[in-house]
Amino acid sequence: MLRSLFIALSQNKRLRAFSERSVLGRRMSGRFVAGMTVEEALSACEQVNREGIAVSLDSLGESVTVEAEARASADIYHRLLDAIAERKLNANVSVKLSQVGMDIDPLLAEQIVGEMVAHAVEADSFVRIDMEGTPYTEATIAMTERLYGRFPERVGTVLQAYLYRTAADAERLLVEGIRIRLCKGAYKEGPDHAYPSKADVDANYVELMKRLVTSGVFCGIATHDEVIVDAMRRFVQEQGVDKAAFEFQMLYGVRRDLQRRLAAEGFGVRVYIPFGTEWYPYFMRRLAERPANVLFLAKNFFKN
- The helix-helix angle for 67-87 and 38-50 (nearest 10°) equals 40
pTM of the shown model: 0.86
Instruction: Tell me if residue 25 falls in helix, strand or coil.
Output: helix
> Tell me, what's the pLDDT at 300?
43
The percent of residues above 70 in pLDDT, for the chain, comes to 81
Confidence band for 299, pLDDT divided at 50, 70 and 90: very low
DSSP 8-state secondary structure symbol assigned to residue 134 = G
Return d(Cα 156, Cα 126) in angstroms, integer: 8
Question: How does residue 153 score in pLDDT terms, banded at 50, 70 and 90?
Answer: very high
- Is 60 exceeded by the pLDDT of residue 150? yes
Smallest CA-to-CA distance from 175 within 202, 148, 135 is with 148
CA distance 303 to 294: 15
pLDDT digits (tens, 9 = 90+) for 278-297: 766 666 666 666 655 555 54
Query: What per-residue confidence (pLDDT) applies to 304?
Result: 38
pLDDT of 62: 80
**Per-residue pLDDT at 298:** 46
Select the more confidently predicted residue: 1 or 123. Answer: 123
> What's the one-letter identity of residue 284?
M
Helix (H, G, I), strand (E, B) or coil at 218: coil
Report whether pLDDT(30) > 80: no
Angle at 292 between CA 208 and CA 209, to 5 degrees: 10
Cα(299)–Cα(176) distance, rounded to whole angstroms?
A: 47
15/10 Cα distance (integer angstroms): 9
Q: Give the model confidence (pLDDT) of 126-146 as tens digits.
A: 999 999 999 999 999 999 999
Q: Can you point out the beta strands (E) in 6-70? A: 54-59
Q: Rounded distance, CA 230 to CA 238, Å?
A: 12
In degrees, rounded to 5, the angle at the alpha carbon of residue 182 between the alpha carbons of residues 10 and 59 is 50
CA 102 – CA 140 distance, rounded (Å): 10
Q: Which residues are catalytic?
A: 130, 181
Q: What is the mean pLDDT of residues 152-164?
A: 97
pLDDT tier for residue 242 given thresholds of 50, 70 and 90: very high
Q: Give pLDDT, residue 195.
A: 95
pLDDT for res 27:
58
Instruction: Decide if pLDDT at 55 tops 70.
Output: yes
